[in-house]
């Protein structure tokens, strides 16, 4: 199937072709016709599935085909609410890329920076607003944003929105939007709280689920190293002596853990930075930019902070801590093995984390291969060899 088969208008097709998009992903194939038809939608999809284009393309098309007078007013007719600055910027860039021939205006607002440039752009009129909850509520309270003309509302990364404590902010924003609207809700996971929210917000929605959490990407080379908790930082520093690891995303369970790992790597003369909820927006953006440019070799992140990161060419993920939720493991390793690249995911597991590892293997229906010989084996496991085994395969393009 091609985008042409989804009845996408020529101006948007041309923009998509310029981005080298010709064949829609499964979520795009299912979502675009439903959104164009005006249906509410509940999408269970994680980053990397093509989710943004799945809602951006039909939103652009619907707004651009409305009557000329309505388009000329440039009132906010579509609102996309997303949890982080990084994700908001990515979505905004997507709207600009796909819609540059439509004549529609888009704008992004987020906290952590001065509001003045954002307010100036809003004052010139915008059709599509991408926003984080805190800054949007601030501007609504200042009467600088009017949501009474919103026709399409997108709540993206709904589970993460709740994880980050935005539930109250989101409810306040929803109260400012007209009852009569099309609502699109996307979430990587569907816990009871999200299902309850969906039941409240959505009317007879189309339900789409892609990339079930139990199916991991085949290109990812997974392995586990059993190691005492006290030796994890030493094992990490040892692995990073391999210069082939040019870009590594390391996951920790806690913010303090991320800071500790970063300090340990810095002492070992390995360039690393941490991103988590206690870091300012500026510090997080600085770390992310450094990581993307290659200036920072290792990015240490908590799950919540990492959910908004979209990096195509990420060859290595290391789970410093095994996550409490097995689904989180799938989301973590799904950061690698993208854009035609092979990927490697290595997990460190101490004795207390073994039940968590078993839960992951049950979910993915696969036993993760164990690296039995490394310099810091778990105390209860006897190493077969004193020679550290070569743990990593060099990523290669297909």
Which residue shows structure tokens 């550290």? 388
Question: Burial, 219: exposed, middle or buried (Cβ in 10 Å; 0-12, 13-18, 19+)?
Answer: middle
Kindly state the DSSP code that residue 3 receives in the 8-state scheme: G
Q: CA geometry: angle at 210 spanning 22 and 363, to 5°?
A: 140
Question: Burial, 75: exposed, middle or buried (Cβ in 10 Å; 0-12, 13-18, 19+)?
Answer: middle
| Residues linked to residue 272 through DSSP beta bridges, in sequence order | 298
- pLDDT (tens digit, 0 to 9) for every residue of the chain, 398 residues total? 888 899 999 999 999 988 878 888 888 999 999 999 999 999 988 766 788 999 999 999 999 988 777 777 889 999 999 998 888 998 999 999 999 999 999 999 999 889 999 999 999 999 999 999 999 999 999 999 999 999 999 999 998 888 788 889 999 999 999 999 999 999 988 888 888 999 999 999 999 987 654 455 567 899 999 999 999 999 999 999 988 888 899 999 888 999 999 999 999 999 999 888 777 767 877 888 888 888 889 999 887 767 656 665 678 999 999 988 887 888 788 777 655 567 899 999 999 999 999 999 888 888 999 988 888 988 854 333 333 444 554 445 44
> Tokens in use for 87?
């994700």
| Residues linked to residue 317 through DSSP beta bridges, in sequence order | 249, 345
User: DSSP letters along 67-133, please?
Assistant: -HHHHHH----EEEE-S-HHHHHHHHHHHHHHHTTTT--EEEE-SSS-SHHHHHHHHT--SEEEE-H
**Which residue pairs, CB below 8 angstroms and at least 24 apart, start in 383-391?**
388/238, 391/223, 391/225, 391/239, 391/242, 391/346
| DSSP H or E run through 35 | helix 26-36
| DSSP H or E run through 273 | strand 272-275
Q: Where do the domains of the chain lie, and which CATH numbers do they carry?
A: 3-209 (3.40.50.300), 220-364 (3.40.50.300)
pLDDT tens, residue by residue, 285-302: 788 888 888 888 999 988
pLDDT score, position 381 = 46
- Indicate yes or no: pTM above 0.75: no
> Tokens in use for 15?
């923009």
Q: Cα(165)–Cα(167) distance, rounded to whole angstroms?
A: 6
Q: Cα(338)–Cα(344) distance, rounded to whole angstroms?
A: 11
Of 214, 148, 156, 212, whose CA–CA distance to 181 is shortest? 148
């Amino acid at each position: 199937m091609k985008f042409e088969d989804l009845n996408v208008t020529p101006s948007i097709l041309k923009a998509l072709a310029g981005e080298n998009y010709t064949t829609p992903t499964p979520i795009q194939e299912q979502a675009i016709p439903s959104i164009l038809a005006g249906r509410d939608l509940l999408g269970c999809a994680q980053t990397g599935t093509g989710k943004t284009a799945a809602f951006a393309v039909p939103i652009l098309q619907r707004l651009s085909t409305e009557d000329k007078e309505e388009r000329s007013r440039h009132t906010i007719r579509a609102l996309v609410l997303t949890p982080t600055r990084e994700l908001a910027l990515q979505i905004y860039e997507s709207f600009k890329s796909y819609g540059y021939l439509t004549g529609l205006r888009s704008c992004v607002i987020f906290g952590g920076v001065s509001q003045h440039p954002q307010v100036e752009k809003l004052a010139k009129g915008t059709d599509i607003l991408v926003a984080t909850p805190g800054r949007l509520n601030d501007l609504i309270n200042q009467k600088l944003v009017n949501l009474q003309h919103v026709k399409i509302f997108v709540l993206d990364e709904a589970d993460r929105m709740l994880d980050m404590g935005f539930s109250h902010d989101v409810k306040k924003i929803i109260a400012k939007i007209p009852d009569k609207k099309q609502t699109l809700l996307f979430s990587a996971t569907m816990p009871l709280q999200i299902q309850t929210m969906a039941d409240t917000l959505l009317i007879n929605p189309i339900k789409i689920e892609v990339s079930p959490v139990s199916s991991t990407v085949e290109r990812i080379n997974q392995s586990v190293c059993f190691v005492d908790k006290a030796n994890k930082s030493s094992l990490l520093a040892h692995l990073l002596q391999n210069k082939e690891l040019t870009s590594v995303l390391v996951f920790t369970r806690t913010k303090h853990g991320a800071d500790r790992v970063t300090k340990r790597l810095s002492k070992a003369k390995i360039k690393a930075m941490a991103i988590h909820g206690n870091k300012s927006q500026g510090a997080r953006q600085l770390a992310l930019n450094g990581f993307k440019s290659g200036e920072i070799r290792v990015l240490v992140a908590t799950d919540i902070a990492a959910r908004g990161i979209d990096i195509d060419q990420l060859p290595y993920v290391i789970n410093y801590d095994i996550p409490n939720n097995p689904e989180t493991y799938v989301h973590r390793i799904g950061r690698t093995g993208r854009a035609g690249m092979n990927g490697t995911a290595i997990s460190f597991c101490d004795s207390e984390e073994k039940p968590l590892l078993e839960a992951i293997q049950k979910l993915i229906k696969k036993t993760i291969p164990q690296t039995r010989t490394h310099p810091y084996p778990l105390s209860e496991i006897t190493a077969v060899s004193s020679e550290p085994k070569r743990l990593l395969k060099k990523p290669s393009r297909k």
